[in-house]
Amino acid sequence: MADVNRGNRPLSPHLSIYRPQLTSITSILTRITGNALLLGTILVIWWLLAAATSPAYFDMVNGFVTSWFGKLILLGSIWALWYHSLAGLRHLIWDNAIGLDVPTAEKLGWGVIIGSLLLSVITVVVL
Amino acid sequence: MRYLTDRKRATGLGSAKTGTAHFWAMKVSSAALLVLVPLFVCTLGRVIGESHQDVIAHFARPGPALIVALTLIVGLEHFKSGAQVLIEDYVHGTAQKIWIIAVICMSYALMATGLFAIAKMAL
């Protein structure tokens, strides 16, 4: 019958078994940065709404955005935005079955990490 | 021992046949965002922290208004689908459905709020 050994089969090794690798870390960071960008998005939309509403409301929201906490969210969002963009570019490359071998995938991973940090520094310095 | 065969247990649990459309929508929006995101960072970075009058004047121009509006539309559409996959991976059953509905509604609400603000400043 069908269910003789259900629930008692060997499982493939998962997170608790594997040593963290550059490819797995950069992959989960893509998901984390993409979803965490919601925070920065809410902040920017709140700021836009305040600017469209009244000078008094704008001063209040702008005060929060330019406070140390607001700046921390913006700084984190800038890095997350660049990281997620470069990681997305990497996925668009991978979709063509290019760069999937381990040495190239690891090089692309370092490219995403270093590139996102460089772009964040440039963004903060220039803007 | 259950009386269902493997075939019966698997029926209805397979692909919902929309995976390709989801994949393609993410691919199109990500390609668009590769262009929009640098423009968005430049145009927003120029006015964030500036005075109220400068911000209003900035978004009264077509370029900044259109870049921010497009980035919010495409970005939140992309977020909506991406967050849905996140939920599908970690939450199951009724909670999964509630979370997906909530995330989709929130994405459109944020999109509408941002577009309203931009339109009010631009017009």
| C-alpha dihedral (A73, A78, A79, A80), degrees to nearest 10 | 80
Nearest to A2 among B2, B48, B55 (CB): B2
Closest CA to B86 of A24, A27, A40, A81: A27
- pLDDT, one tens digit per residue, over B36-47 is 999 999 999 989
Retrieve residue B57's tokens.
């004047």
Pair A122, A77: CB distance under 8 Å: no
Instruction: Give burial (CB, 10 Å; 0-12/13-18/19+) of B73.
Output: middle
List the CATH number of the domain containing A73: 1.20.1300.10
Answer yes or no: is pLDDT of B5 > 70. yes
- pLDDT, one tens digit per residue, over B74-108 is 999 999 999 999 999 999 999 999 999 999 999 99
In a domain, A10, yes or no: no
Answer yes or no: is pLDDT of B4 > 90. no
B32 in contact with chain A, both atoms CB, cutoff 8 A: no
**Cα B25 to Cα B100: distance, rounded to the nearest angstrom:** 17
List the CATH number of the domain containing B40: 1.20.1300.10
- pLDDT, one tens digit per residue, over A19-38 is 888 989 999 999 999 999 99
- Provide the number of structural domains found in chain A: 1
Q: Which domain holds residue A32?
A: 22-126
Nearest to B41 among A42, A51, A81 (CB): A81
B17 in contact with chain A, both atoms CB, cutoff 8 A: no
In a domain, B1, yes or no: no
In a domain, B4, yes or no: no
- In this structure, chain B runs to a length of 123
Mean pLDDT of B14-21: 80
In a domain, B12, yes or no: no
- A26 vs chain B: nearest CA distance in angstroms? 16
- B15 vs chain A: nearest CA distance in angstroms? 21
What is the Cα A118 distance to its own chain's centre?
15
- Provide the number of structural domains found in chain B: 1
Retrieve residue B86's tokens.
């996140």
Answer yes or no: is pLDDT of A120 > 80. yes
**Cα A3 to Cα B4: distance, rounded to the nearest angstrom:** 8
- Looking at residue B31, what is its pLDDT? 96
pLDDT bin (cut points 50, 70, 90) of residue A55 is very high
In a domain, A27, yes or no: yes
In a domain, B11, yes or no: no
Retrieve residue A68's tokens.
């140390």
A1 in contact with chain B, both atoms CB, cutoff 8 A: yes
In a domain, B9, yes or no: no
- Looking at residue A6, what is its pLDDT? 63
Mean pLDDT of chain A: 91
In a domain, A8, yes or no: no
* Percent of chain B surpassing pLDDT 90: 80
**Cα A66 to Cα B105: distance, rounded to the nearest angstrom:** 29
Between B11 and A39, name the one with better pLDDT.
A39
A80 Cβ neighbours under 8 A, 6+ residues apart: A33, A34, A36, A37, A40
Select the residue from A45, A71, A120 to test the B interface by mutation, using most B Cβ atoms within 10 A.
Answer: A45
Q: Which domain holds residue B94?
A: 18-122
B66 in contact with chain A, both atoms CB, cutoff 8 A: no
Answer yes or no: is pLDDT of A8 > 90. no
DSSP B83: H
Mean pLDDT of B70-75: 97
The SS3 of residue A10 is coil
| C-alpha dihedral (B28, A42, A40, B21), degrees to nearest 10 | -20
**Cα B49 to Cα A55: distance, rounded to the nearest angstrom:** 14
**Ramachandran region, residue B93 (left: φ > 0; alpha: ψ -120 to 50; beta: rest):** left
- Looking at residue B1, what is its pLDDT? 61
Between A105 and B3, name the one with better pLDDT.
A105
- Looking at residue A4, what is its pLDDT? 59
Answer yes or no: is pLDDT of A12 > 90. no
Q: With a threshold of 0.90, tell me whether the complex ipTM lies above it.
A: no
Check B45 against A126: CB less than 8 A apart: yes
